[in-house]
Structures are given as C-alpha cells and as structure tokens.
Amino acid sequence: QKEVEQNSGPLSVPEGAIASLNCTYSDRGSQSFFWYRQYSGKSPELIMFIYSNGDKEDGRFTAQLNKASQYVSLLIRDSQPSDSATYLCAVKSNTGKLIFGQGTTLQVKP
Amino acid sequence: ETGVTQTPRHLVMGMTNKKSLKCEQHLGHNAMYWYKQSAKKPLELMFVYSLEERVENNSVPSRFSPECPNSSHLFLHLHTLQPEDSALYLCASSQEWRTTSTDTQYFGPGTRLTVL
C-alpha cells in the first residue's frame, strides 16, 4: 500500500464546475496535510494546509480532512482553465517527513 | 531575489561528468531539502539539512553528494550518474525540521537534469 494515494487522472471538469480531488494516507500518526499545485514544467506551489478534522476554506479552495477515514480532499469551486495543473497531496508524519502522492492531473475545459 | 532559487535550470551531462546543482533560500529558514521528481512518480525526498547538519539521507546512491555550507545554501554534487537519474531536482526550505505541524516547505524552480 502506498503511503499517500491519489488518482492520477486526468480529472476533466467544465469551466465553472466544482473539481473534487481526493487523497488517502496510510499513517494514522500523520499530523498535517498539504495541497500543492504544480503546473507543467514548474515546481510545486503551496495552495493550503489543514490539520484539524473538518473543512478549511480559502477563496475558491476548500480542504476537507477526515482523520478517522484517513482521507483528505480539495474542492475547487468555479473552476477556471488556469486551474489546469497537477495537484499534489502531501502528508506530514509525526517524524516530520513530508510524503507526497503522485498527484492528480486536473483539466478544466472552457 | 526572493524565495528559493536554483541554478542551473537545465543541465545535460554525460555519465562521466561531474557537475553541481546549487540552491539558495532567502526566507531565513533553517531546514533545506533535496527532492527528485521523475515522470509519473511521487516526489522522492533525498536529503534533509537542519542548521547545516544532514539529518536525513533516504538511501540515496553515493553518486549524489550533498553539501550545506550554511543555512542559506545547499549543493548537490553529481558524478558518474546514470541515465535513470534524469529527472527534475527540486530544492525546498522550511522554517524548521520536525517542528510545528503547519511548518510548510517552499520549493525552488528546480533543475531539469538529463544524463546521456
């Protein structure tokens, strides 16, 4: 079992729709959870982090965490073509290491 | 300069060459990282330095040799690489290593390495 799992996609949504990106993790001791966006040929950039169960909203982005189910998700409302990228889920364990999933490619079609 | 910078941005080298990648962070962070990103694979942590001391070495072959002369600079020395080492090499920094859960890592633009 991979430590952090994401569906590689591509996930295709029409412009204006909600994009839902999911991530599961295996280490129950994980402390905090990060979403990075990576455009093709670029480096990852942090979108947001979450460490408490529930939802955290930042503009059009909402991160959702369910530690009991070992599940974290990212919702993107009103998706724009500029949101087309690979979204990386990263999980910080209690050892401090950041473990990345392989990423989900999102395509937002005009 | 702001954030995390890396040079060179692109590098092509033969298997017998020796080259170095450079990373500099302007964020006042104490921890720096080297990651390898290969196609269709997750980011792989290679090395971690905290206050210039190496604290993690994730079973990386000895043909990769890191150096951290101070908390702002990190190097990755390369020698006798293999074609499978071709990848995007990313440097990152964070405030501390192994502290607050929300301590986030910020990435440099990466060096695209091709080994012929």
> Quick check: B98 pLDDT over 80?
no
**Phi, psi (deg, nearest 5) at residue B10:** -135, 145
- Contact of A31 with A65, CB cutoff 8 Å: no
Whether residue B43 lies within 8 A of chain A, CB to CB, comes out as yes
Per-residue pLDDT tens for B21-63?
A: 999 999 999 999 999 999 878 899 999 999 888 888 888 999 9
Closest CA to B74 of B46, B98, B100: B46
Banded pLDDT at B100 (limits 50, 70, 90): low
Paired strand residues for B103: none
**End-to-end Cα, chain A, rounded Å:** 36
User: Average pLDDT for residues A59-75, to the nearest whole number?
Assistant: 96
Q: Looking at beta carbons, which residues of chain A come within 8 Å of B88?
A: 43
User: Average pLDDT for residues A17-41, to the nearest whole number?
Assistant: 94
Better pLDDT: B64 or A93: B64
Residue among B42, B88, B107 whose CB faces A101 most closely? B42
> Quick check: B1 pLDDT over 60?
no
Antiparallel, parallel or unpaired: β B53-57 and B64-70: unpaired
Antiparallel, parallel or unpaired: β A4-5 and A104-109: unpaired
Cross-chain residue pair A44–B90, CB shorter than 8 Å: yes
The full length of chain B comes to 116
Whether residue B56 lies within 8 A of chain A, CB to CB, comes out as yes
Please report the DSSP string for B19-82 in residue order.
EEEEEEE-S--SEEEEEEE-TTS--EEEEEEETTEEEEE-S--TTEEEEEEETTEEEEEEES--
Give the minimum alpha-carbon distance from B92 to chain A in angstroms, rounded to a whole number.
10
> pLDDT at position B16, please?
87
Cross-chain residue pair B98–A101, CB shorter than 8 Å: no
Cross-chain residue pair A43–B99, CB shorter than 8 Å: no
> pLDDT at position A1, please?
65
> Quick check: B101 pLDDT over 80?
no
